[in-house]
Amino acid sequence: MNVRCIPSQFLTTGMATKGTAGTYHTTTVDVAKGAYTTVSHIGRKRSYDDFYGERQNPKAILANVTDKARLPRAPVQAKCFGALKASEIQDLTDHDPSVYSQRHGLALTPTPTSNPLLDLSHPVYGLPSQLAKNLASLGVKSIYPWQSDCLLRSGALSGEKNLIYTAPTGGGKSLVADILMLKKVSSGEKALLVLPYVSLVQEKLRWLRKVVDGITKTAAADSYTQQPPSIWRKQGDEDSIRVVGFFGGSKTKATWADIDIAVCTIEKVMATKWNMSPMSLIPQQANGLVNTAIEDCSIGKLGVVVMDELHMLDDESRGYILELMATKLLSLEHSVQLIGMSATLNNTELLATWLDNAKFYVSRYRPVPVEEHLVFDNTVYSASTSSVFYRTATQLNSQTQCASPVSPEPLRLINASQIKEFSNPVVNSVVSLANETARMGYGALIFCSSRSGCEKDAVLISQVLPRPDEVDADVLDKRIELVNDLRSTSAGLDYTLERTIPVGVAFHHAGLTSEERDLIAAAYDEGAIKVIVATCSLAAGINLPARRVILHGARMGIDFVGPSMLRQMRGRAGRKGKDEIGETYLCCQKGDLEAVAELMEADIPVVESCLFPEKRGIKRYFSCSEMMCFKPPLSPAYVVHRALLEVIATRLATSRDSIDDYTKKTLLYHSIDHGELAAMTRLALDDLLEIDLIKGTDDSVYEATLLGQAIVASALTPEDGLFVHRELSRALRGFVLDGEMHAFYTFTPVHALSSNINWRVFRTEMERLGESNMRVLDFVGLKPMMINKMAHGGTMRETTAQEVETARIYKRFYSALQLRDICNEMPIHAVARKYDLPRGIVQNLAQACHGFAAGMIKFCQRMEWGGLAAILDHYSDRLKAGARLDLLALAEITYIKSRTARIFWENGYKTVGAVAAADLKELLSVLLLAQPKKPLLDSASEEKYIQKLHKKVEIISRSANKLWERQMQEDLDGEE
């Protein structure tokens, strides 16, 4: 029974809301508390002793909300899928059959006892002593020999040399960059750390904030130390190191004056594959920060830039942004140390030449050895190196094709299954290997080609693992706790996860929200979850090392993964400090053997410049007007145009000579005929002049027009900037203010994240639009007859430039409908169900719109459209809160967003002051009402649940008090 029973002693607030006619209406709290009456504390500020006394004795609250005598509980029954039996695995060799035995014979890494240079407190590194202590407290008690060698021999430690280095996944490459970065920051300079995925940014933020705790800057730059602290930074906090994150969905208002280390994502221009991880569909961050710093002349404070996953220079959708950013830094008058790292670089020397003759270092050290296997037709073969893997796969393929007598020696045999679900040998192998891993107490990470494949594998694996009643009670408690935590998220509890988690299995893909993925990853790290099934596209965006990595095929969608992605997935095997060895198993079917063999033998592709149009599938040069004839997934966004527009708009290069000098510092200059590059540059300048994004003077000096400046400030490509300009120019002539849709449409990214429109849903939503919102539909150029036609199975053509633009507007409006529902407090899971989309995609839409909305406001401000900027700024607050206008103040409080804010409002807490003045017991009673329904729990579990909510209440109260005090201070300052 999924009804939440809340006894009256849970609820201590006796409040009522006043209606318009002066009558008082009972609230949900009044109804729930029955005959119990208490005195309301709203409007009465608590004393210091009242608040902190409660904090020190939380049991006083628990006693009021968990009266076991009044609330008998039956133990919760964990749900799971029906049981099946996994196939047994037989060993066919004479050597030790168990790879799970402790491997004491492995070579150990030297320690500081034998090599003092492995201790970071050694004077040669010149690091603050507190830094070494912090790292030791986080488990980094010494470094590897290769890390010491790289730091000391490269010259990078002194800050004089740029550095590029490569090391295997799990080899400790991030620590080298952290040390170099923190050394610069502790001396007063600023740092920029660029990562490809939001999840990695969030993880790195948590790590760095622990690392810099208690460390102060010893010698800041002149203007930096003289600056008064901003409002954003606390007084007396000027010397502490501030780590700030910039990524899709982040709401920081920090400026360069407030930052010591900025951890950012790379801009992704557009979604070329709509089934990609939402973590990668993010607005510009790192490049925009550099542009802003160059433009306002604060770039001189930047001392070091770290580019992780440097191989992403080759990524067609965002690689050129990384190149543009690095090239601008190389063009500065002062020196900024550039550090690039990756596990998959094949042409380190070329990249080092590009980065001003940087030093390069290559390490192949792995602290945990990895054994590799190929699994075919229920048989396991050794493949410890790529050449052995290739030979094994080709021999197997030859054997299946023409019965060749040459046959590799099998190591293990997985018994064929009589169970229908396991009739496919690949599925049988994946399930059996995962089952063996989990039952031995180790973690397994499985990669699948699709989201649906992840969920199917998770269900099958969950059916062969021990049932909940066979699991240790403490482990089961953690799993039930995870289920309850997932139930409490904005997306609610997924049906499949509810049944796989109790047996220790979960999936991890783009369809989940970031909260769900974080909770699952944390439970895996703690050992509560033993098996995670993830999509291949998340391989580089997660940090979930495992004893065994099992690949369910080697495809991403219908295409084979590339050599770099394959190494990323296999590199997750082996957990330092937890496992003595790692294992990979690539399970493939007969038809893929040849392709898998070639893939395993293939070299990592060299990193090339993405500024070259052919890199993006364009075989000749196109003018800006011709570009518009391409569909968004095929458009090159003609990157040379953007490169030149940015340096001209930021005044980094304005003359022909300085522009030529700038192009010589690109990676493209090292990869193309120099005469051809000069011709491309001239063509791009002519195009920018033709479409009025730049203008030239008599002395051959260029400057950006107002429109060109707006496009750069809002982080748009020239193509997208021209589209936005047309849309906003039309809005200026008649912005619809008596409805919401025009504002939400304006805030929806130009490349809508929902590329596939459910036209029947679109038609239904169109029919529900009011008169004002129908005017918006007509105003942006959409035709109800076309929507009706498409709902009956019509086809929308996208062959001409006009058709492409029209299709983009339909897709954008469809996404705007989803954004409208989110901002009107519809839960994410309900929006996802309504529009038939994964929850993660819906959440990502809301997050991506934060950055895009800020860009649109900047665009209007640069174009000097103050009125439109003010309107959009007003709506951006609703976008951040995900709520209607009346809840904006409450939504600033931590943990009080959208639906929770509405519950607080309905129960009388309509201002920040009211929440700040409330008793903790009152807040707890209201917070309970905001929780999703859940099954009845036993007494111990219920007490844990209330304890968790109590901690949230404390944070809510502290946050409200902070906001309230700030408001009061601002009021006092205003009176003065």
- Region of poorest pLDDT, from 85-94, 149-158, 232-241, 801-810: 232-241
Structure confidence at residue 187 (pLDDT): 86
Closest CA relative to residue 818, chosen from 879, 868, 895, 734 = 879
The CB density around residue 229, as the number of other CB atoms within 10 Å, is 13
Instruction: Tell me, yes or no, if the two domains 128-362 and 370-601 fold the same way.
Output: yes
Beta bridge partner(s), residue 265: 195
pLDDT at 12 over 80: no
Task: Tell the burial category of 228 from Cβ atoms under 10 Å away from its Cβ (0-12, 13-18, 19+).
Answer: exposed
| Mean pLDDT on 236-249 | 74
Token match 């493949």: residue? Answer: 383
The pLDDT-based confidence of 372 (bands split at 50, 70, 90) is confident
Structure confidence at residue 269 (pLDDT): 42
CA 752 to chain centre: 18
Structure confidence at residue 407 (pLDDT): 65
Structure token digits, residue 972: 């006092």
pLDDT at 139 over 60: yes
The pLDDT-based confidence of 641 (bands split at 50, 70, 90) is confident
The pLDDT-based confidence of 232 (bands split at 50, 70, 90) is very low
| pLDDT (tens digit per residue) in 862-880 | 999 988 888 888 788 787 7
Helices 129-137 and 198-211, axial angle in degrees (round to 10): 120
- Polymer length in residues for the chain: 976
- Tell me the DSSP string of 34-76: TT------TT-PPPHHHHHHHHH-THHHHHHH--TTT---PPP
Structure confidence at residue 947 (pLDDT): 85
Mean pLDDT of the chain: 79
- Region of poorest pLDDT, from 223-237, 275-289, 328-342, 907-921: 223-237
718-882 has CATH 2.30.29 classification: no
Structure confidence at residue 638 (pLDDT): 59
Closest CA relative to residue 156, chosen from 126, 114, 119 = 126
* Spatial distance between the Cα atoms of 836 and 78, rounded to a whole number of angstroms: 28
Phi (first) and psi of residue 849, to 5 degrees: -70, -25
Closest CA relative to residue 368, chosen from 136, 145, 583 = 583
Contact 446, 539 (CB under 8 A): no
Helices 718-732 and 866-881, axial angle in degrees (round to 10): 110
Structure confidence at residue 702 (pLDDT): 94
The CB density around residue 76, as the number of other CB atoms within 10 Å, is 17
Phi (first) and psi of residue 441, to 5 degrees: 90, 15
445 or 800, greater pLDDT: 445
pLDDT at 736 over 60: yes
Structure confidence at residue 563 (pLDDT): 80
The pLDDT-based confidence of 813 (bands split at 50, 70, 90) is very high
Domain range annotation of the chain: 8-72+902-975, 128-362, 370-601, 613-704, 718-882
Q: Which amino acid is at 19?
A: G
pLDDT at 782 over 70: yes
387 or 919, greater pLDDT: 919
Structure confidence at residue 24 (pLDDT): 38
| Mean pLDDT on 435-464 | 93
520 or 66, greater pLDDT: 520
576 or 888, greater pLDDT: 888
Structure confidence at residue 537 (pLDDT): 67
% of the chain surpassing 70 pLDDT: 79
Structure confidence at residue 99 (pLDDT): 41
The CB density around residue 806, as the number of other CB atoms within 10 Å, is 18
| pLDDT (tens digit per residue) in 833-848 | 999 888 888 888 887 8
Task: List the CATH code of the domain at 128-362.
Answer: 3.40.50.300
699 or 688, greater pLDDT: 688
Structure confidence at residue 191 (pLDDT): 94
Closest CA relative to residue 947, chosen from 8, 65, 50 = 65
pTM for this entry:
0.80
| Mean pLDDT on 793-802 | 86
Contact 116, 148 (CB under 8 A): no
Structure confidence at residue 655 (pLDDT): 92
Q: Which CATH architecture has domain 370-601?
A: 3-Layer(aba) Sandwich (3.40)
pLDDT at 617 over 50: no
Structure confidence at residue 230 (pLDDT): 40
Contact 899, 930 (CB under 8 A): yes
Structure confidence at residue 53 (pLDDT): 47
| Mean pLDDT on 659-674 | 91
* Spatial distance between the Cα atoms of 557 and 537, rounded to a whole number of angstroms: 9
The pLDDT-based confidence of 162 (bands split at 50, 70, 90) is very high
- Region of poorest pLDDT, from 590-604, 656-670, 814-828, 901-915: 590-604
* Spatial distance between the Cα atoms of 1 and 843, rounded to a whole number of angstroms: 29
Structure confidence at residue 845 (pLDDT): 85
509 or 434, greater pLDDT: 434
Structure confidence at residue 974 (pLDDT): 67
* Spatial distance between the Cα atoms of 29 and 926, rounded to a whole number of angstroms: 7
Contact 361, 165 (CB under 8 A): yes
Structure token digits, residue 253: 């208002």
Structure confidence at residue 177 (pLDDT): 94
| Mean pLDDT on 708-723 | 90
| pLDDT (tens digit per residue) in 878-902 | 877 778 888 888 888 988 888 888 8
Structure confidence at residue 56 (pLDDT): 44
% of the chain surpassing 90 pLDDT: 32
pLDDT at 256 over 80: no
| Mean pLDDT on 49-61 | 44
Structure confidence at residue 77 (pLDDT): 63
Class of domain 613-704: mainly alpha
Helix (H) or strand (E) holding 861, with range, is: helix 839-862
7 Rama class: left (phi>0) / alpha (psi -120 to 50) / beta: beta
Structure token digits, residue 777: 């539909």
The pLDDT-based confidence of 54 (bands split at 50, 70, 90) is very low
| Mean pLDDT on 313-332 | 87
Most confidently modeled range among 156-170, 207-221, 930-944: 156-170
The pLDDT-based confidence of 664 (bands split at 50, 70, 90) is very high
